[in-house]
Amino acid sequence: MNFGILNENTRIAIRSIKANMLRAILTMFIIAFGIMALVGILTAIESIKSTLTTQFSTMGASAFAIVKKGNNMHHGGHRERTVNTANITYDQATEFVGRFQFPATVAISGYVSGASTIKFQMQKTDPNIEIWGVDEYDMITSGKSIGQGRNFSHEEIENGKHVIIVGSDVVKKLFKKNENPINQTISVGNGKYRIIGVLAQQGTSFNGSDRLCLIPITNARQYYPNPDQTYRINILPAKPELLDVAISEAEGIFRIVRRLAPHDANDFEIESSNSLANMLINNLRLVTMAATIIGIITLFGAAIGLMNIMLVSVTERTSEIGIRKALGAKTSTIKQQFLLESVIIGQMGGALGIILGILIGNMVAMLTGGSFIIPWVWILLGVLLCFVVGVISGYVPAQKAAKVDPIISLRHE
């Protein structure tokens, strides 16, 4: 390769782009939009996937739960009929805890409300606070952590004390003067509860506990009775490698608790944090595919636009091509000049699109609780796509320029 000719062609290509700046900028923006759509959406998705993985790992990668089976019966992905599965009662949950001798931490929890208003003096929250009744082991099995104060004691759970652990958003709403929330008395419905702990802030991402309040499960059973109440049994094996064995053991024991015959199907479900994370990430793959298709379609349109501009450029510079050929320029040199011009426009548009895509993608990710990331794989893919667009768009015009007859071109007006 003659680097002298390459440098000369590069200078000519840049000079031509400057001479037709408006046309070049419009083409760059078309390419930039396609790359921005592709890189931006994929950056946001990668950030959300990273956050999901982190959130579920904080729950404990080896944690799982026994929950009531969903009402909709499915077969081959199609809803067939609805069945009424029995709730998991408190007696069944406590019987399971007594029978399950596997090395694991077991917690029982029950949903109380998802639209509660919490009050402190003249301040109150929006009616969107979620309340759960839990035992002292819920903090371990669910991956929550205490940011201030302490967890429930065994005695508080046994006696159904009026104590509460609140999320960070609840504290921000009720204690606007930065008062210490510990040992303050707040109103939950018609009841008064003393705050003993504040949950560590988790943000707005999935499984966030910032708008969550926890009360002793015995207190919830006494003051918030619900005839349709079903309970959740969270289980965290002592070692992650025991997960599969623990699930099998728990399933067998709970079948006994539910009085199921050997030929009966399970009327409950085993829900693991890994399976939930994988399900959500698989759904995000569909969004990734859609974003890729949108980006490719946009880039296809940009390629057509760039090719048209390069064809116009060849027509306008017919005389210049003839002079270069008359002075001894080879066909390959002329072809290289126009290819370089097309590739440079493509790369400049791609660079702009990548920068905008990273910024917009991370802004969306942060609004949904994600973290800032730089998607190096998608950046490299964007550069490669823009190079391909430049080559494809410039090939036909370059071929046309290379085949120009120097005698005819010198006579061209």
Does residue 174 fall inside a structural domain? Answer: yes
Strands 146-149 vs 191-199: parallel, antiparallel or unpaired: antiparallel
Does residue 207 fall inside a structural domain? Answer: yes
Q: Which residue has the higher pLDDT, 34 or 231?
A: 231
Pair 298, 367 in one domain: yes
Using CA atoms, how far residue 280 sits from 50, 181, 275, in Å, is 12, 35, 9
Does residue 273 fall inside a structural domain? Answer: no
Closest-CA residue to 158 (of 95, 209, 103, 94): 94
* CA torsion angle 220 225 230 236 (round to 10): 10
Residues 89 and 254: their CA atoms lie apart, in Å, by: 12
Which residues partner with 119 through β-bridges?
Answer: 124, 187
User: Residue 79: what pLDDT?
Assistant: 45
Region 22-39: mean pLDDT is 81
User: Residue 153: what pLDDT?
Assistant: 95
User: Residue 56: what pLDDT?
Assistant: 57
Pair 92, 195 in one domain: yes
Of 73-77, 131-135, 225-229, 400-404, least confident by mean pLDDT is 73-77
pLDDT band at 282 (very low <50, low <70, confident <90, very high): low
pTM value > 0.85: no
Does residue 62 fall inside a structural domain? Answer: no
User: Residue 114: what pLDDT?
Assistant: 87
Pair 194, 314 in one domain: no
Region 91-95: mean pLDDT is 96
Pair 171, 320 in one domain: no
Pair 31, 157 in one domain: no
Degrees, nearest 5: CA angle 318-323-326? 125
Whether 107 and 135 have beta carbons less than 8 Å apart is answered as yes
pLDDT band at 184 (very low <50, low <70, confident <90, very high): very high
Region 385-407: mean pLDDT is 77
Of 107-111, 278-282, 304-308, 391-395, least confident by mean pLDDT is 278-282
Pair 17, 143 in one domain: no
Q: Averaging pLDDT over each range in 5-9, 54-58, 110-114, which range is the top one?
A: 110-114
Phi-psi region of 149 (alpha: psi -120 to 50; beta: other; left: phi over 0): left
User: Residue 82: what pLDDT?
Assistant: 45
Does residue 275 carry a pLDDT above 90? no
Pair 109, 250 in one domain: yes
User: Residue 333: what pLDDT?
Assistant: 79
Percent of the chain with pLDDT over 70: 85
Instruction: Among 266, 295, 319, identify where a domain stops.
Output: 266
Degrees, nearest 5: CA angle 260-263-269? 55
Pair 300, 361 in one domain: yes
Does residue 77 fall inside a structural domain? Answer: no
Does residue 201 fall inside a structural domain? Answer: yes
- Phi and psi at 393, nearest 5°, equal -70, -30
Length of the chain: 413
Region 160-175: mean pLDDT is 94
Closest-CA residue to 302 (of 313, 310, 314): 310
Residues 9 and 321: their CA atoms lie apart, in Å, by: 12
Number of domain units in the chain? 2
Does residue 215 carry a pLDDT above 90? yes
Q: Which residue has the higher pLDDT, 335 or 225?
A: 225
Pair 222, 304 in one domain: no
User: Residue 3: what pLDDT?
Assistant: 67
Pair 262, 284 in one domain: no
Average pLDDT over the chain reads 81
Q: Which residue has the higher pLDDT, 364 or 170?
A: 170
Pair 30, 124 in one domain: no
Region 134-162: mean pLDDT is 92
Instruction: Among 237, 266, 295, identify where a domain stops.
Output: 266
User: Residue 72: what pLDDT?
Assistant: 44
Does residue 235 carry a pLDDT above 90? yes
Does residue 150 carry a pLDDT above 90? yes
User: Residue 240: what pLDDT?
Assistant: 78
Residues 6+ apart with CB under 8 A from 142: 59, 60, 63, 107, 109, 234
Of 29-33, 111-115, 147-151, least confident by mean pLDDT is 29-33
Does residue 65 fall inside a structural domain? Answer: no
Using CA atoms, how far residue 205 sits from 171, 225, 368, in Å, is 19, 31, 6
- Domain range for 101 is 86-266
Instruction: Among 266, 290, 319, identify where a domain stops.
Output: 266
Does residue 366 carry a pLDDT above 80? no
Does residue 345 fall inside a structural domain? Answer: yes
Closest-CA residue to 288 (of 49, 26, 79): 49
Pair 39, 136 in one domain: no
Q: Which pair of structure tokens corresponds to residue 184?
A: 């303050």
